Structure 1
Amino acid sequence: MNRTTLTTLLAVTILAGCAAGPDFKRPDAPHADRYTAQPLNLERKNPRTASAQQAILGEQLDQAWWQLFQSDALNGVVKRALAQNRSIVAAGYTLAQAQELAAAQAGTLYPRVGMTAGVGREKYGAEFLGTSPKPPPFTYFAVGPTISYSLDYTGGGARSVEQQNALASYQRQQLKAAYLTVTGNAVLESLKIASLRAQIATVQTLLDEDRENLKLVHEAFDAGSVSRLDIVSADSQLATDTALVPPLRQELSLAQHALAIVLGQAPAEGTLPEFDLAQLTLPRRLPVSLPSELAHRRPDILAAEAELHAATAAVGVATSNLYPHLDLSASFSQQSTVIGQLFASGSSAWSLAGGFVAPVFDGGTLRAKRRAAVDAMQASAAKYQQTVLTAFGQVADSLQALDHDTEGLDAQTRAQQAACDNLDLTRKSYREGNIGVLQVLDAERRYQQASLAYVRIRAQRYMDTAQLFLALGGSGPEVDAHPGQGSRRSD
């Protein structure tokens, strides 16, 4: 090989190595320092009331965020869910699969060594030997190692390994997302159960009052101070309020079934805690990561980043396919027609070979595939940006909801107290004969609506607090493939 040929080959190698890009660059963190356009009451350093919550921007969420509700029952449910939920098991094995595929791809960068052995019997024909003397049929034996190696001078193999590692990183974030989903569902369903039980208890209290009111009306009727219409009206109110219970119990059953499934069990199996809002503590301090930190902790954002990394590496793979490929191989063997002389000094045989394959004409296939890979990379970049915006929107929504919850609770507390005072005065006036039963029923209806609304807004604060922690990406232990799987498996 002359100097010109060597120079040309070296230049092609250098150019090809440079072309197997682009290198992945992690997207810059967003520059925003807040989530909402206007400051919230939630962000005040000195809350107006002792029950008000306060968002602490820049503070990291505790690792086990559900423990902020200070409920042993809730902590136990989350622990059971993490141990038994099938979605987490599936995500763990999927991560193990991705890690194994990445390890398999990494192995292609190394030489492949094999061992061959063979035995056969042959007879040469006249067309092969011509007029030469024809040897009799013979038996041959051969044994020896072989080595093959694809020279990755374009970087395509390294890009393929990079792509598989990025896909494994994507599955790791999917496993984290599964953890977040399971813990979130366990907490939200538990809070829903507590809310519905509180609402049912409130309605039962109202029913007791309805029965007491009906008793008073009967007593007044017996005394001749009211008509039968008053009895019918009071009885109608009791029937109307009684109709509120079945839908609430149905919702409670659905929430209990959903929680059982999160725990990895059928609804008919096992028992669930009887959650009570009074046994839960509403977190007053709300750690809220800055937007720049959120982009580096939410599993869906990190998964989108890993997808972008894989798509970028795929461009490098497609680029390397535009250049020649060089394959090297070598073999050494012992060959003999007599097995006893197989390892004699004269029975050695070897070979060295190199294959250089360059694309010349393919109808534009390879370049079209590279353009497609670039398009996929651009799509992944846009998807990443949209994922970040969606995450910011969810945090903003949760913060705004909590801000409104505080206002709503204050207003509903006043409304409930006013309705309670009005009901007491109305009943007193009814006993004194100053008003009719319809006014009492109207006052009861207002008190009922105010009481249920108070329970719901109080429970909603717990739900929206949990939603905020989920929107912030939660926080949990570092996850890996299912125990015994992935890179730790020895078989």
Structure 2
Amino acid sequence: MQNIWSISGRSIAVSALALALTACQSMRGPEPVVQSNIPSTYTNASGTSIAEQGYKDFFADARLVKVIDLALENNRDLRTATLNIQRTQQQYQISKDNQLPTIGASGGVLRQDTITAPSPYTTYSVGLGVTSYELDFWGRVRSLKDSALDTYLATASARESTKIALISQVTQAWLSYAFANANLQLAEQTLTSQQKAYELNKKRFDVGIDNELSVRQAQISVETARSDVGSYKTQVSQALNALNLLVGQQVPQDLLPPAHLEKVTNIEAIGTGLPSDLLNNRPDLRSAEYQLSAAGANIGAAKAALFPTITLTGNAGYSSTDLSDLFKSGSFVWSVGPSLNLPIFDWGTRKSNIKIAKIDQEIALSNYEKAIQSAFSEVNDALAVRTHIADRLSAQKRLVEASKATYRLSDARFKAGIDGYLNVLDAQRSSYSAEQGLLALEQANLNNQVELYKSLGGGVKAISSEQLTAEPSTSDLKYGNK
């Protein structure tokens, strides 16, 4: 009978070891089908995507590139994103290490008295042991590791998305500073012109050529222009403060832009590429995809919790009642044994956890589909502006020329005594407004180029020759989706 139990025990041990070594497959189900309902092509799409250009190649001004580099080094949001990556990397390492047994050293001195012993005695022990190592038959620990890996990859992609957004924000803040200065110069030029007009009207009034109304009308223009100068000075300071905040330090004076910029990139043709390029280039979409994969892994872990948890505890070492005999022959001791844990009545808690994990996967799927739709919407919105911005600029430039000509003619007719000063005032206001509108359109044109570059996923690479490869998610590795 003893031999039979010995053979059965060895068979069970060998079977358990074989199961542990084969590491049972994950119980996660197939990934859900993504239905984003996006168009097959962009509106007015053409050429290779500008996202393939590194930001140092895309942006034309060397000062701007240096400012972007400073921001990438010092911006606190990007620094936080980097620290989040390091944190999730350590969490993944913990989940990965949980697949391996934890081995620890132990030692002790026990003083005890028993009925069978003639007197109290001391037992000394020292050894190595495995504490509660879970035999991952059902893939629970493996699923948790997969979820941690996908979460880490999602966090790394989120950091890249933060980088793209930072580059875009820095560039647009840099442009805001430039055009705030351009508007300030325009207001100062207008103020100088209106002061001269006011002095002329006052002289005409003093000698009795005109009445006081012309003087007061000219004074209104002067004070309006003076108010605009103060307003644009405020905007210049605020734009600089915003730029310094994004960069994370004071931007050197020699890196600030001139008062008027005509271009932000040397690229003539603004290409969008194919919709599939967007899915590869946008890190926020990859982050959402990783999160969807992590949700699938959590389902596998929740399903595995329905089955028994089998843990293995073992210890090997030396034990003796005499410290001098602790490491002598005959004092070696060992123990090993599995334990089984299966809650019989948990009132549906584990099944509810599975339902929660499935709902989380549906939420992640919805977020992924929404991220794809939002990305395509951003590109199409930028393209919609791009389609008509050139016509708007041409029309605005013609409006500026016509307004200036009207102002010159009205001023000449006033000085000749043909018309009153009100016509000059209206013409001057129209000319000033048209020039402000042109500056706003020129800024919108440059911002649109930046926005299109960002929405297509540009900015991850520093130079165009860099080769970037996205890591596959655990669902891709399991089902071969990619």
Is 2:17 the partner of 1:22? no
Is 2:336 the partner of 1:336? no
Is 2:40 the partner of 1:33? yes
Question: Alpha-carbon deviation of 1:338?
Answer: 0.8
In structure 2, relative to structure 1, the CA distance for the partners of 1:254 and 1:204 (3 Å cut) is same
Superposed counterparts of 1:430-469, under 5 Å: 430-469=414-453
Superposed counterparts of 1:300-339, under 5 Å: 300-339=284-323
> Does the residue aligned with 2:281 lie in a helix, a strand or coil?
coil
C-alpha distance in 2 between matches for 1:253 and 1:119: 73
- Deviations 1:404-434 (CA, angstroms, capped at 9, x unpaired): 3222212111111111111121122222221
C-alpha distance in 1 between matches for 2:198 and 2:92: 74
C-alpha distance in 2 between matches for 1:450 and 1:205: 14
> Does the residue aligned with 2:270 lie in a helix, a strand or coil?
strand
In structure 2, relative to structure 1, the CA distance for the partners of 1:114 and 1:24 (3 Å cut) is farther
Superposed counterparts of 1:255-334, under 5 Å: 255-265=239-249, 271=253, 273-276=255-258, 278-279=260-261, 281-283=263-265, 284-334=268-318
C-alpha distance in 2 between matches for 1:354 and 1:173: 41
Equivalent AA in structure 2 for residue 114 of structure 1 = G
Task: Indicate conservation of the 8 Å contact 1:26/1:305, yes or no.
Answer: no
Superposed counterparts of 1:59-458, under 5 Å: 59-65=49-55, 67-124=57-114, 129=115, 133-148=116-131, 149-222=133-206, 224-265=208-249, 271=253, 273-276=255-258, 278-279=260-261, 281-283=263-265, 284-458=268-442
Equivalent AA in structure 1 for residue 398 of structure 2 = R
Task: Indicate conservation of the 8 Å contact 1:426/1:440, yes or no.
Answer: yes
C-alpha distance in 2 between matches for 1:112 and 1:273: 55
Question: Alpha-carbon deviation of 1:222?
Answer: 4.8
Task: Indicate conservation of the 8 Å contact 1:214/1:235, yes or no.
Answer: yes
Equivalent AA in structure 2 for residue 276 of structure 1 = P
Question: Alpha-carbon deviation of 1:26?
Answer: 8.9
Question: Alpha-carbon deviation of 1:436?
Answer: 1.3
Provide structure 2 residue ranges, at least 5 long, that are not aligned to the other structure.
462-467, 471-482
- Deviations 1:89-124 (CA, angstroms, capped at 9, x unpaired): 221111111101101110111122221111121111
C-alpha distance in 2 between matches for 1:274 and 1:220: 45
Aligned length: 448
In structure 2, relative to structure 1, the CA distance for the partners of 1:479 and 1:86 (3 Å cut) is farther
C-alpha distance in 2 between matches for 1:313 and 1:255: 46
- Deviations 1:168-198 (CA, angstroms, capped at 9, x unpaired): 1111012112212222221111111111111
- Deviations 1:222-244 (CA, angstroms, capped at 9, x unpaired): 55432222122112211122222
Q: How high is the sequence identity, in percent, across the aligned residues? A: 23
In structure 2, relative to structure 1, the CA distance for the partners of 1:156 and 1:183 (3 Å cut) is same
C-alpha distance in 2 between matches for 1:31 and 1:182: 27
Equivalent AA in structure 2 for residue 147 of structure 1 = V
Question: Alpha-carbon deviation of 1:271?
Answer: 4.8
- Deviations 1:252-309 (CA, angstroms, capped at 9, x unpaired): 22211111111213x7x96574422545524432232422221222222111111111
C-alpha distance in 2 between matches for 1:68 and 1:331: 63
C-alpha distance in 1 between matches for 2:26 and 2:71: 49
- Deviations 1:333-383 (CA, angstroms, capped at 9, x unpaired): 211111111111111111121122234221111011001100110111011
In structure 2, relative to structure 1, the CA distance for the partners of 1:279 and 1:451 (3 Å cut) is closer
Task: Indicate conservation of the 8 Å contact 1:35/1:393, yes or no.
Answer: no
Greater mean deviation of Cα atoms: 138-147 or 205-214? 205-214
> Does the residue aligned with 1:296 lie in a helix, a strand or coil?
helix
- Deviations 1:434-484 (CA, angstroms, capped at 9, x unpaired): 11111111111111111111111111111121111121222224799xxxx
Question: Alpha-carbon deviation of 1:31?
Answer: 6.6
Provide structure 1 residue ranges, at least 5 long, that are not aligned to the other structure.
44-55, 481-491
Question: Alpha-carbon deviation of 1:18?
Answer: 6.0
C-alpha distance in 2 between matches for 1:479 and 1:135: 74
TM-score after normalising by structure 2: 0.86
Question: Alpha-carbon deviation of 1:70?
Answer: 1.3
